[in-house]
Amino acid sequence: MSERSADESTAGTFGSWPPLLKHGAALTGFALATLILVSPMDIAAVVWPVVVADALMLAAAVFAIVLPRSSLSPRWEIVIPLVTFVAVALLRTATGGQLSPFGALMIIPVVWIASQPGLRYVLISFAGVLGVVAVPFVVGISSVSVAADVARLVFTPAVFAIAAVLINQIARVQNDRLVRLQRLGLERDRLVQSLEDSTREALRRQEQTLEAARLRDSVWEAITGHAIIGTDLDGTVNVWNRGAVSLLGYSSTEAIGRLDILDVHPRYDEARSALRGGADAPEATDWTYARKDGTTFPAHVLVTERFDEDGDPAGFIFVATDETEATELQRLKDEFTSLISHELRTPLSSILGYVELLRPEDDFDDPMTDQQLKYLDVVDRNARRLLQLVGDLLFTAQVGSGRFTIEPVPTSLTGLVRAAVDTATPAADEAHITLTVVTPDDDVNASVDPVRIGQALDNLLSNAVKFTPRGGSVTIGLESAPGAARLIVADTGIGIPADEVARLSERFFRASTATQHAVKGVGLGLTITKAIVTAHAGTIDIDSTVGAGTTFTVELPL
């Protein structure tokens, strides 16, 4: 409710009463006066003014009934006390004027009007009293003959004016109190509503929290294949799930609050130092965990730092997966690869040897036909291709088993780049691919294994040529940077999807674009290249856009 509407609804002593109820006092007074006039009392009166006065009062009563149901403003109700003033003036004129016994009826419209907010209503009520007092003198019913008449003519309106002022001020104080009470009531209602809304929201959030807790507990209980261990900053275990019970053999009672993480995780101090030093959470790492019975197993572990509600470090979370089966499977794969490679290398070497023996010499008595020589070239080419594949398989097996070593010597990287270009030129020319070399004027030297780095460059260049459509271009560049050298191989080929770039170093992985374009390969070249670069403490970065090309950047320390 607005302030204005509040003032209107509570205005005056009787402001909140219906108009008919407020008019009831005047009706009662006139009814009593009429009864007195028709009683045996000998009171002289002129009939027609009395009848008109009673008719006006009845008309005002009808208006009081109709007003609340009409479209008129509530302010129109002031017409009713004004009509009452007219009726009182008629009644006094009909019953002796200044000597009429019914002049006291003026107090009823005075109270009604003066109780409205604002001093103008005091003036209206004073004007009404003055009019009622003056009418008998105006129409000649009364006259000013003695000083007492003058006193009554002046004193009566003055007293009623003073009474109107008092009534107006009392009503104003009451109105202010009522308005404050209404405002307080509205504010209370708003506060109650807000409290109810807050209570409902709190209950809803509580239910959501309980539901989240139930979901967390159900998920927590369902995780049995991963050991989830939480510690405080000192390494004391305070979280131990069912997976930890299953994998490590300690019950929750034995672990929580009693077990130190170093009992199962010997690399804890290293991980804590890295995280507390401001580093991001380390990537999942292969470590060794110790069980309660003293046995160990390889674990794939992800470590993250925990924080309290204030954002301060509170401990660490370790999520470990038993990698025993995966490690054994990898070992078997490496053994199988190595075994097959060795078993293939011997017969392939023999085939290549016999191919050389079958090639005719100048004094050969029984020369081969052109068709036979063509077949012999096919055998030689495929045997060498298989021998290269066997070599790649042996190399990846050495990398997987940790037996891969390099022999760094001072080497001209410029010379390795030119040699790789010479090797790739025939294939590039055959595919009508432009091969561009960008090297600095000064020779760039580094301590590397020339055979392995040359092999890496050959792989990158051959891939670039192989995956670039006819008419494209391949650029190999060499840059010297502070403390490092960069080898850059860029092509305008088919590109690699962004979500597959990270998998290019996996053995036997081939990008979907390679299979879609039916480009031959087994997916070992980049695996070997990555292993060579990593062994030299270098990095390899790949930037590729499908349909636009790929750029490989190898950075080697000088």
Instruction: Please report the DSSP string for 530-557 in residue order.
Output: HHHHHHTT-EEEEEEETTTEEEEEEEEE
Domain-terminating residue out of 401, 421, 446: 401
Q: What share of the chain is helix, strand, coil (3-state, %, to 5)?
A: 60, 15, 25
CB 331 within 8 A of CB 316: no
Q: State the Cα–Cα distance between residues 508 and 527, nearest whole angstrom.
A: 8
Average pLDDT along the chain:
80
240 is a domain residue:
yes
220 is a domain residue:
no
122 is a domain residue:
yes
φ/ψ of 278, rounded to 5, equals: 100, 0
At 276 the pLDDT is: 53
- Reported as a pLDDT band with limits 50, 70 and 90, residue 50 is confident
- Beta-carbon contacts of 543 under 8 Å, excluding residues fewer than 6 positions away, are 550, 551, 553
Report whether pLDDT(27) > 80.
yes
At 58 the pLDDT is: 92
Looking at the structure of the chain, the number of domains it has is 4
| Range scoring the smallest mean pLDDT among 9-13, 123-127, 189-193, 372-376 | 9-13
Over residues 46-59, the mean pLDDT reads 89
Over residues 158-163, the mean pLDDT reads 82
Q: What are 284's two structure tokens?
A: 């999942």
Over residues 501-519, the mean pLDDT reads 67
Q: 447 and 309, same structural domain? A: no
Beta bridge partners of 480: 485
Give the residue carrying structure tokens 């804590």.
272
Domain containing 458 — which CATH number?
3.30.565.10
Over residues 141-151, the mean pLDDT reads 73
Q: 361 and 297, same structural domain? A: no
Domain containing 257 — which CATH number?
3.30.450.20
Tell me the per-residue pLDDT of 400-452, one tens digit each, with 9 for 90 and over: 655 667 788 998 988 889 988 888 888 888 889 999 898 888 888 888 888 88
Q: 333 and 317, same structural domain? A: no
Give the residue carrying structure tokens 């030299």.
536
At 159 the pLDDT is: 82
Percent of the chain residues topping a pLDDT of 90: 4
Domain-terminating residue out of 291, 322, 353: 322
Q: 178 and 36, same structural domain? A: yes
- Reported as a pLDDT band with limits 50, 70 and 90, residue 252 is confident
Report whether pLDDT(8) > 50.
no
Q: 230 and 340, same structural domain? A: no
Give the residue carrying structure tokens 């239910």.
207
pTM: 0.42
Write the DSSP string, 97-136: GGG-TTGGGGHHHHHHHHTSSSTHHHHHHHHHHHHHHHHH
Instruction: Output 428 or 155, whichever has higher pLDDT.
Output: 428
Residue range of the domain that includes 259: 226-322
216 is a domain residue:
no
| Distances, alpha carbon 39 to alpha carbons 34, 42, 50, 449, in Å | 9, 8, 14, 140
Q: 376 and 234, same structural domain? A: no
Instruction: Output 147 or 273, whichever has higher pLDDT.
Output: 147
Structural Rg of the chain based on CA atoms: 55
Report whether pLDDT(49) > 50.
yes
221 is a domain residue:
no
Tell me the per-residue pLDDT of 285-322, one tens digit each, with 9 for 90 and over: 777 888 888 888 888 888 888 888 788 888 888 888 88
Q: 269 and 367, same structural domain? A: no
Q: State the Cα–Cα distance between residues 105 and 94, nearest whole angstrom.
A: 14
Q: 181 and 106, same structural domain? A: yes
At 4 the pLDDT is: 41
Q: State the Cα–Cα distance between residues 423 and 511, nearest whole angstrom.
A: 25
208 is a domain residue:
no
CB 227 within 8 A of CB 236: no
Q: 308 and 338, same structural domain? A: no
Q: 436 and 315, same structural domain? A: no
| Range scoring the smallest mean pLDDT among 156-165, 346-355, 419-428, 478-487 | 346-355
Report whether pLDDT(6) > 50.
no
Domain-terminating residue out of 322, 349, 371: 322
Residue of 70, 77, 69 whose CA lies nearest to 16: 77
Q: 40 and 106, same structural domain? A: yes
- What is the maximal distance between C-alpha atoms in the chain? 178
71 is a domain residue:
yes
Q: 9 and 47, same structural domain? A: yes
Tell me the per-residue pLDDT of 201-230, one tens digit each, with 9 for 90 and over: 888 888 888 888 777 767 766 677 788 888
203 is a domain residue:
no
Residue of 178, 6, 17, 4 whose CA lies nearest to 112: 17
